[in-house]
């Protein structure tokens, strides 16, 4: 795959990284039958700083021709921009086909909606394929973006749209509060559909304590909506980890990476999910039949929220390991055998 397609430029990458980019896809005649999926924040990076062993571990996988992807509930940037940034930070070539962020699957919704309000970082909607035009009063086609980090005004815009007539800002539907059998009293007048790209309550950034993620913002929206509507549930669709649709998509990406180089018969038998969040990484991996590895470098801490004893049912990992290097060594020593 050429550098121009990946939007990675010689001026932004170290020479050693460029050489690795041209070498990392040259699989041997007998490829591994296992693969890895890594969360990013709290697993590979703390903010913009690589965690100990992150670069070494990814290079080890590439040197041994073991396919892997980065599977994150983060987002806010186009995949090309984010993979270029990750390649620089980790000093490992990361291409777009090795990277899935929370809103990547939204590409499948292009053509389904004429108007989109993208709540998140810059270029989210446009990056996933929607034309970037301002939404007008009558709901003309296009995408309008607001920043999720500004919770107050963003929440107000969302509530205004959910109470509107046909998604027109500044209107109020005369069907609000009117019972529709099987649908409730609200969201029955062609208001916008609601999609959440991830459900993480916490995420691990540069600060030493976890920060509220999109799941926190979702809780705020749902709490206000419940108060306004006297207990009505907000109808919405959620993707991202831990939901099975995201893991199915991720596994198909891993198999496509292997098939691209080794032919249609190549197939991944086991996927090691390396994460730091029991409620997303581990729950999703267990629910989809992947081998879950929980790290102590991010959200999960043995001295917080009950520690290991609180890991019940689908949140209990197959293994708890100190860091990403230990996880890669563990997975490579066992491979794809059951």
Q: Confidence band (pLDDT; 50, 70, 90) for 137?
A: very low
What pLDDT was estimated at residue 4? 25
In the predicted model, is pLDDT for residue 15 greater than 70? no
The pLDDT value recorded for residue 126 is: 53
For the chain, where are the alpha helices, taking DSSP H only?
3-6, 15-23, 54-63, 79-90, 124-127, 151-162, 214-228, 244-262, 283-288, 324-334
Q: What is the pLDDT of residue 292?
A: 98
Burial (CB count <10 Å: 0-12, 13-18, 19+), residue 171? middle
Average pLDDT rounded to a whole number, residues 135-155: 58
**269 vs 12, which has greater pLDDT?**
269
> How confident is the model over 75-109, as pLDDT tens digits?
878 889 999 999 999 999 999 999 999 888 777 77
Kindly state the average pLDDT of the residues 248-259.
91
Q: Which domains does the chain have, with CATH numbers?
A: 34-104+242-335 (3.40.50.1000), 105-238 (3.40.50.1000)
Angle of helix 15-23 relative to helix 54-63, nearest 10 degrees, comes to: 40
**pLDDT surpassing 70 at residue 14:** no
| Tens digit of each residue's pLDDT (9 = 90 or more) over 254-303 | 999 888 877 788 889 999 999 999 999 999 999 999 999 999 999 898 87
Q: How far apart are the first and last CA of the chain?
A: 33
pTM above 0.95, yes or no: no
* pLDDT tens digits for range 41-75: 999 999 999 999 999 999 999 999 899 999 998 88
Checking if the pLDDT of 123 tops 80, the result is: no
More confident residue, 4 or 190: 190
Q: How many CB atoms lie within 10 A of CB 278?
A: 24
**11 CB burial (10 A radius; 0-12, 13-18, 19+):** exposed
**Predicted pLDDT at 134:** 38
Q: Report the C-alpha gap between 175 and 163 in whole angstroms.
A: 9
At 7 the pLDDT is 34
pLDDT at 135 over 80: no
Kindly tell me the sign of the dihedral angle through the C-alpha atoms of 180, 185, 191, 194: negative
Both tokens assigned to 112 = 């389904």
At 245, the pLDDT band (50, 70, 90 cuts) reads confident
Structure confidence at residue 8 as a pLDDT band (50, 70, 90): very low
What the block records as the tokens of 38 is 């890594």
């Amino acid at each position: 795959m050429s550098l121009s397609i990946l939007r990675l430029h010689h001026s932004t990458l170290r020479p050693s990284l460029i050489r690795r980019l041209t070498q990392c896809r040259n699989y041997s005649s007998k490829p591994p039958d296992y693969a890895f999926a890594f969360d990013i924040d709290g697993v590979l990076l703390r903010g913009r700083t690589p965690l100990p062993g992150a670069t070494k571990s990814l290079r080890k996988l590439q040197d041994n021709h073991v396919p892997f992807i980065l599977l994150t509930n983060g987002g806010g940037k186009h995949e090309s921009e984010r993979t270029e940034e990750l390649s620089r930070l980790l000093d490992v070539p990361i291409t777009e086909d090795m990277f899935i962020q929370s809103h990547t699957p939204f590409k499948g919704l292009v053509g389904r909606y004429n108007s989109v309000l993208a709540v998140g970082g810059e270029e989210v909607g446009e990056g996933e394929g929607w034309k970037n035009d301002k939404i007008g009063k009558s709901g003309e086609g296009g995408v309008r973006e607001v920043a999720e980090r500004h919770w107050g005004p963003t929440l107000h815009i969302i509530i205004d749209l959910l109470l509107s007539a046909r998604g027109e800002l500044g209107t109020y539907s005369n069907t609000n509060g009117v019972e529709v059998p099987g649908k409730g009293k609200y969201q029955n007048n062609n208001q916008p559909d609601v999609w959440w790209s991830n459900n993480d309550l916490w995420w691990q950034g540069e600060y030493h304590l976890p920060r509220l993620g999109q799941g926190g913002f979702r809780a705020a929206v749902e709490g206000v909506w419940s108060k306004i509507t006297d207990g009505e549930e907000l109808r919405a669709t959620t993707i991202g980890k831990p939901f099975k649709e995201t893991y199915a998509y991720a596994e198909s990406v891993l198999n496509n990476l292997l098939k691209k180089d080794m032919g249609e018969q190549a197939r991944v038998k086991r996927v090691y999910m390396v994460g730091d969040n029991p409620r997303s990484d581990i729950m999703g991996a267990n629910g989809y039949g992947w081998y879950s590895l929980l790290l102590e470098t991010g959200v999960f801490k043995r001295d917080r929220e009950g520690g290991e004893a609180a890991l019940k049912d689908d949140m209990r990992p197959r293994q708890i390991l100190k860091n990403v290097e230990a996880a890669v060594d563990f997975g490579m020593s066992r491979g794809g055998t059951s």
